[in-house]
Amino acid sequence: MSALNRKVIRDLRAIWAQALAIALVLACGGMVLVLAHSTERALSETRAAYYDRNRFADVFATATRAPQALLAEIAAIPGVAVAEGRVGFHLLLDLEGMVEPAVARVISLPLAGPPRLNVPILRAGRLPDPARPDEVALSEPFALVHGLLPGTRFVALLNGARRELQVVGHVLSPEFIYTIGPGSLMPDDRRYGLIWMGAEAAEAAAGRKGAFNEVSLRLSRGAREDAVIAALDGVLAPYGGTGAYGRDRQGSDQFLQGELDQLQAMGRILPPVFLIVSAFLVNMVIGRLVATERRQIGLLKAVGYSTAEVAGHYLRLAALIGAVGVVIGWAAGAWLGQAMTALYADFYRFPWLIYAPGPGAFVISGVLGMATALAGAWRAVRTSASLPPAVAMAPPLPPAYGAGRLDGLPRTLGAGQLALMVWRGITRFPGRAAVTVAGIAASVAVLIAAFSTYDAVRAVAAEVFGAANRQEVTLTLTDETRAAPALEAAQHLPGVLRAEGGYALQVRLSHGPRSRFVALEAHEPGDLMAHLLDSAGRPVALPPRGLVLPRGLAAALGARPGDRLRLQRLTPPYEEWDLPLSGVIRQSLGQSAHIDAETLHALLRQSPRVNRIDLRVDPARLPALHAEVKRSPVISGLTLWSDLRRQFDETLRENLLISSAIYSALGMLITLGVVYNAARIRLAERAHELATLRVLGFTRAEVGWVLLGETLALTALALPLGWAAGYGFAALMVAGFSTELISIPLVVSRQTYGFASLMVLGTALAAGVAVRRRLDRVDLVGALKQRE
């Protein structure tokens, strides 16, 4: 090894703690990059393979009732490779250990053999025998939660009648990687399950003998999806077709895609922060090293090393720091990526996982990491390495402690000499102070952005479970029905204090070339339970005319209040209406359009209808209500809002706890890296000065304050900047993490500002104290003898 390379290694060893602090900050950036990309890749590859192997359909459609013979016509549509029809419906289950009814979606299996599309994976037992109407297969997670092993029996409520079914197998399906029951907000394996049943039994139960109401298509290569969808809509129209759609609107895939988009956003938004901070840190540390080795640089040049060779020497040092950071980032990213992928696999229902992160993310993070370290060092190295040797070997000019304009400030404020030293230390090296302040502010920002997710979730919960929905129970009806008798009947259910009807209709909403399929929800002016909220979260009255859309949906359609929107009913007779957009509201979860009930019923030319009933109930009588609901043939689902709330909290608490722990660690690492390095440099530069103070009789504590005072002052300066940056960063995250289905509000609470500030202050103090302890070890005599 050449002598210069030995020097690189020994220099690195001499500044190992500082180098490690930088490497760790750099590693954070690489880690997040690798984590996000590898997880995203694992999920999308697993999804692709799962879809492929289990022949996940490309196009889906539902109809009221279509004859089996129609399938041949559908299969003949140009571009369709496979068409498969089936019967699907919801029913209630009366399960042991559950007072309330569970909801299940029934999916029929073909008359013979396994399905050709959306093939379920058998996880235990076997598929039902088509000849045995009581045999069913259950979705694995639901079966396991209820202990419904193959061979056990359970009770389903079919049209109000109890019917015993036998479990013969457990399956998973590419169609239900992420499943949400009707009226629910997130997956709930206890209350919502899937049942695969023989065709004849399912058709009989649904009252659709020889017919289907759901169809799935696999397209041939090169087929145009929109053309097929249009053709399919035409074929299904006479049979109550509700509009065919591609994978982009398939519930499970839509959520999965949202998650993948969020991972991409994470990989895009976070790493630059860490990379920029580490570039500044490298600049600070290498800059200091180069300054102390000025004479050595002069000598190297004197003996014949060129500017490029000298610069290369220090760049190699920076590259080594970069390499360490990159490798740590790779390792941590790969490890966390695997852990996170496993978490996802558990949350989503994948039968297996493909975790093959591939070189892409590693190469990108490696290149970015090295480039960051080199760019950081470049400025510091370039100036010094190009000094003429004679100049470099002469001692540098001492910092000009002349009379700066701000110098008198502390004295005017009555501060002592030590405070003056702190003050001048900052004002004399404004560049370094700025880097320190910016770094600390960046970590405050990262922490604020991380904690603001809690605020956002709290705001969403307050909205969904408080302001917007004041009902305690929601009943989903099997079919829409006339409002007055249904509400009258609901009032007489056990424990019901008040009942309000709700009506939702699937529509296609268009504005110019953009369109979305959404639920159009009707609201009665006197409703006390379901509310619409303005952007500040206050209930707003629905204007008597026109539509009200959530902000996100309006933005997706490019519509502003006053614009006219086209509504197309997705069920016969498929009428179209033009209605003005009369207002935008805040709706965090789900995206539905809202309309005055009277207006809607007038458009539909029908008497008021309901397909949902919201209830206020006497909690003591809930069991009786549950029992009654299980007996009712017209109710296909019951949502207990307190349950929903608990489940929402549990799911998010788990997910948020992990992510905010990671972000907190990342945020504190930045502070640690920045403060530790700044303080170490300050200590090195001022060893002489501080030793002099000790010789003059100042105590260790007093001298320590010169060092700590600067850290604290810079931290205090950084906090307000960090608050502002944190708010902006939170806004970026919200924008990146919001999907069309979930619009995350931008909320940063005072607690978040306070907590982030305290954490940073604590970390800064810890880093400062760690350096201050080195001060105790400074050799007084040695420091005073140093020729500088």
Partner 1 sequence: MQATGTAAPPVYRTQGLTRIYGQGDGAVQALRGIDLTLAEAEMVVLLGASGSGKSTLLNILGALDRPTSGRVFFRDRELSGASERALTAFRRDHVGFVFQFYNLIPALTARENVALVTEIAHRPMPPEEALDRVGLAHRMDHFPAQLSGGEQQRVAIARAIAKRPDVLLCDEPTGALDSQTGVKVLEALVAVNRDLGTATALITHNVGIQAIAHRVIVLADGRIVEDRRNATRIAPAQVTW
List of residues contacting partner 1 (CB under 8 A):
2-4, 6-7, 10-11, 14, 295-296, 298-307, 309, 388-390, 393, 787
Minimum Å gap between C-beta 751 and partner 1 is 49
The residue (of 218 and 680) whose beta carbon lies closer to partner 1 is 680
CA distances from 684 to 277, 715, 777 (A): 22, 20, 12
The residue (of 306 and 491) whose beta carbon lies closer to partner 1 is 306
Residue 437's φ and ψ, nearest 5 degrees, are -60, -45
3-state class (DSSP) for residue 525: coil
The residue (of 288 and 626) whose beta carbon lies closer to partner 1 is 288
The residue (of 391 and 497) whose beta carbon lies closer to partner 1 is 391
The residue (of 268 and 382) whose beta carbon lies closer to partner 1 is 382
Minimum Å gap between C-beta 757 and partner 1 is 41
> Interior CA angle at 31 toward 30 and 36, to 5°?
105
CA dist., res. 753 & res. 444, Å (int): 8
CA dist., res. 6 & res. 743, Å (int): 56
Minimum Å gap between C-beta 284 and partner 1 is 20
The residue (of 388 and 619) whose beta carbon lies closer to partner 1 is 388
Minimum Å gap between C-beta 388 and partner 1 is 6
The residue (of 270 and 317) whose beta carbon lies closer to partner 1 is 317
The residue (of 247 and 382) whose beta carbon lies closer to partner 1 is 382
Minimum Å gap between C-beta 396 and partner 1 is 15
> Interior CA angle at 545 toward 542 and 548, to 5°?
50
* Pair 31, 336: CB distance under 8 Å: yes
CA dist., res. 63 & res. 628, Å (int): 30
H or E, element range at 508? strand 496-511
- What sign has the CA pseudo-torsion 197, 200, 204, 210? positive
* Pair 141, 349: CB distance under 8 Å: yes
The residue (of 158 and 317) whose beta carbon lies closer to partner 1 is 317
The residue (of 220 and 292) whose beta carbon lies closer to partner 1 is 292
Minimum Å gap between C-beta 321 and partner 1 is 16
The residue (of 512 and 782) whose beta carbon lies closer to partner 1 is 782
Minimum Å gap between C-beta 308 and partner 1 is 9
DSSP characters over 376-441: HHHHHHHHHHTS-HHHHHSPPPPP-----TTTHHHHHTT--HHHHHHHHHHHHSHHHHHHHHHHHH
CA distances from 169 to 88, 89, 153, 191 (A): 19, 20, 12, 19
Minimum Å gap between C-beta 299 and partner 1 is 4
* Pair 497, 618: CB distance under 8 Å: yes
Single out the residue of 107, 127, 67 nearest to residue 205, CA to CA.
107
Single out the residue of 631, 692, 204, 723 nearest to residue 418, CA to CA.
692
Minimum Å gap between C-beta 750 and partner 1 is 51
Residues in Cβ contact with 427 at an 8 Å cutoff, skipping those fewer than 6 apart: 404, 406, 407, 433
Q: How many secondary structure helices (H) and strands (E) does the chain include?
A: 22, 22
Minimum Å gap between C-beta 294 and partner 1 is 11
* Pair 483, 613: CB distance under 8 Å: no
* Pair 711, 679: CB distance under 8 Å: yes
Minimum Å gap between C-beta 273 and partner 1 is 34
Minimum Å gap between C-beta 394 and partner 1 is 10
Minimum Å gap between C-beta 289 and partner 1 is 11
State the first-to-last Cα distance of the chain, in angstroms, to the nearest integer.
31
CA dist., res. 787 & res. 769, Å (int): 27
The residue (of 302 and 695) whose beta carbon lies closer to partner 1 is 302
The residue (of 386 and 568) whose beta carbon lies closer to partner 1 is 386
* Pair 68, 85: CB distance under 8 Å: yes
